[in-house]
């Protein structure tokens, strides 16, 4: 039995996320976690809300709430929505936890002891209008690299270039829109990433199996311009983890907090501590400390491409720089962007479908299937309502749902709600078994390699094979001449329903559970032997005709949703 530590990039606390955010990290991470559990492996799947930094402060101010109260409320909202999408986290933590505060301060102290943190007196943007310093996301302006007009003070979302507020052209305050900004002196801590460039580069070069997207972004940041730059890890903010050197105060850093991108990845470790403290687990160290049993853990991270630099450079610099036996990531699965109807999803304009709205329209499996089968792996992908309708209607309703309905209803009408006996396999059944054996092997290989779209395509091909067999065998016609042979064909069909449910569980868990319940096969194991799997339900085994597994989306619904989600959100 293998052990898999799986983390998804932790979502910002500032509001409900759209479908592009979901497919870029949490959903494919859940797919992989569910698959590994189904194969009998031990899994710890962690995520959390990212609650520090300017996004939290700005969102709380907009909502008219104290930031701590806002974060607590939004954590509950995000946790509830995650449950709605059946994201099977073992723990969904909070970066504002006491565990993360203590661990972040610990890392800062160790890195300082190693000479990897330096104090820097620098000038920083100050807004007389707002009466405060404006760190990173409190400033927006034009990116000097690509010309994007809404670049943030820490990073351009368009070209992903790492920025400092002083780099922006025509900078403005996010709070007031003021442009009369001035530079004032302040003191901050910097992580000496440049001192670790060779070690980080060697580590990245050793990851020969990583996706091209991941390594290309990492190497660009390593070698772009003057190479890997030292990174500020403190900010002049009220909300965040207080700057300490372990348990000790840090002279000159009073009133400052750690930069969100320093403490946020550390929350991956802290969330495992929270998992234990919540009574869900009994030993977090065997997952995170290589001197405590984590040496045999495979650690996989899932994230959108904008998060790659921090997970390939900044967080590894923290882990490696500490010199302590922490578990480093083994594989980073990164994703491109999902666009919406010819443009970008927009939180501010309400353009696109947000996670709460999606669940109001249709159950989670409809969205899970489309998003995963169209995951933006090799390039950006695009959500269109026409494509969504077509995929749901053809893949889910016409292929999988229709197969389960036809087989179970025909059996009930001719043999009752029990698996019928009689008949022997012919060449058609043997050919189908061989085909499914080959497809299952490919499916497993693709799931292990996290080739999400390919795996979805292979799974669908197995569904199609059952439909084609049923159409060719035509048990409704066979029954008139040879009822026993028709019984064999339907018995195979019922076992296919069970098999499809097991294999489809990682993609569409609710539908899989529904079909397994109808087949009276809850808890069915992953098939080790196709022949055995296709005879798992013996003659005489009772079943029930399931309710409609997937309904079709009408043209009127599609047109209504298309209009509803094209503009400003209420």
Does 146 show up as a binding residue in the annotation? yes
Q: Could you give the C-alpha distances from 22 to 59, 215, 358, 383, 399, in angstroms and in order?
A: 20, 22, 11, 13, 26
**42-49 and 91-94 beta bridge pairing:** parallel
Tokens 């495979």 correspond to what residue? 298
Which of helix, strand or coil describes residue 102? helix
Does 156 show up as a binding residue in the annotation? yes
Tokens 């207080």 correspond to what residue? 242
Distance CA 500, CA 494 (A): 10
Distance CA 326, CA 124 (A): 34
49 touches 11 (CB < 8 A): yes
Q: Retrieve residue 359's tokens.
A: 């669940």
Residue 235 DSSP label: E
Does 143 show up as a binding residue in the annotation? yes
4 touches 30 (CB < 8 A): no
Distance CA 426, CA 421 (A): 15
134 touches 125 (CB < 8 A): yes
543 touches 323 (CB < 8 A): no
Output the DSSP codes for 378-399. SS-EEE-HHHHHHHIIIIIIII
What is the strand order of the sheet 151-152 is part of? 151-152, 139-142, 169-173
Q: What is the CB neighbour count within 10 angstroms for residue 310?
A: 21
Does 347 show up as a binding residue in the annotation? yes
Q: Retrieve residue 377's tokens.
A: 């792996």
Does 71 show up as a binding residue in the annotation? no
Binding-site residue numbers are 143, 146, 156, 159, 347
Binding-site residue numbers for Zn(2+) are 143, 146, 156, 159
Binding-site residue numbers for ATP are 347
């Amino acid at each position: 039995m293998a052990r898999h530590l799986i983390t998804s990039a932790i979502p910002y606390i500032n509001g409900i996320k759209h479908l592009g955010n979901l497919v870029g990290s949490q959903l494919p991470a859940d797919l992989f976690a569910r698959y590994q559990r189904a194969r009998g492996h031990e899994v710890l799947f962690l995520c959390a809300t990212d609650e520090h930094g300017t996004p939290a402060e700005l969102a709380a101010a907009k909502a008219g709430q104290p930031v701590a109260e806002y974060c607590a409320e939004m954590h509950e909202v995000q946790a509830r929505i995650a449950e709605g999408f059946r994201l099977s986290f073992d723990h969904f933590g909070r970066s504002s936890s006491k565990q993360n505060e203590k661990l972040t301060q610990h890392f800062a102290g160790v890195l300082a002891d190693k000479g990897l943190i330096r104090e820097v007196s620098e000038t920083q943007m100050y807004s007389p209008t707002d009466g405060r310093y404006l760190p990173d996301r409190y400033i927006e302006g034009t990116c000097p690299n690509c010309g994007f007009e809404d670049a943030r003070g820490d990073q351009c979302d368009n070209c992903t270039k790492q920025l400092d507020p002083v780099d922006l052209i025509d900078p403005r305050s996010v709070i007031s829109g003021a442009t009369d900004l001035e530079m004032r002196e302040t003191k901050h801590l910097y992580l000496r990433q440049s001192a670790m460039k060779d070690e980080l580069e060697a580590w990245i070069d050793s990851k020969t199996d990583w996706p091209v997207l991941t390594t290309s972004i990492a190497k660009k940041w390593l070698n772009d311009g003057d190479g890997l730059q030292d990174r500020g890890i403190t900010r002049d903010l009220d909300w965040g983890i207080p700057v300490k050197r372990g348990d000790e105060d840090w002279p000159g850093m009073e009133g400052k907090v750690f930069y969100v991108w320093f403490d946020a990845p550390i929350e991956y470790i802290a969330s495992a501590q929270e998992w234990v403290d919540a009574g869900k687990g009994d030993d977090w160290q065997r997952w995170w400390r290589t001197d405590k049993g984590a040496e045999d853990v495979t650690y996989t991270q899932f994230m959108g491409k904008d998060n790659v630099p921090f997970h390939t450079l900044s967080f590894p610099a923290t882990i490696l720089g500490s010199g302590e036996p922490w578990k480093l990531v083994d594989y980073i699965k990164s994703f491109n962007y999902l666009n919406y109807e010819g443009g970008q999803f927009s939180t501010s304009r309400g353009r696109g479908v947000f996670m709460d709205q999606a669940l109001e329209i249709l159950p989670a499996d409809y969205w899970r299937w489309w998003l995963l089968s169209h995951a933006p792996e090799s390039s950006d992908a695009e959500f269109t309502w026409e494509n969504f309708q077509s995929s749901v209607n053809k893949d889910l309703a016409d292929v999988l749902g229709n197969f389960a309905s036809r087989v179970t209803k025909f059996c009930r009408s001719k043999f009752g709600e029990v698996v019928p006996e009689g008949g022997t396999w012919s060449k058609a059944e043997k050919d189908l078994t061989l085909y499914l054996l080959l497809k299952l092997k490919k499916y497993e290989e693709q799931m292990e390699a996290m080739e999400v779209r390919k795996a979805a395509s292979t799974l669908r091909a197995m569904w199609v094979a059952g439909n084609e067999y049923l159409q060719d065998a035509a048990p409704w016609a066979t029954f008139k001449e040879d009822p026993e042979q028709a019984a064999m064909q339907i018995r195979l069909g019922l076992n296919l329903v069970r098999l499809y449910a097991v294999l489809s569980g990682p993609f569409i868990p609710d539908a899989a559970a529904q079909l397994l319940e109808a087949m009276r096969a809850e808890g069915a194991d992953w098939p080790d032997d196709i022949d055995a799997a296709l005879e798992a339900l013996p003659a005489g085994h009772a079943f029930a005709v399931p309710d409609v597994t997937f309904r079709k989306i009408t043209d009127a619904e599609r047109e209504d949703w298309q209009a509803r989600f094209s503009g400003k959100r209420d």
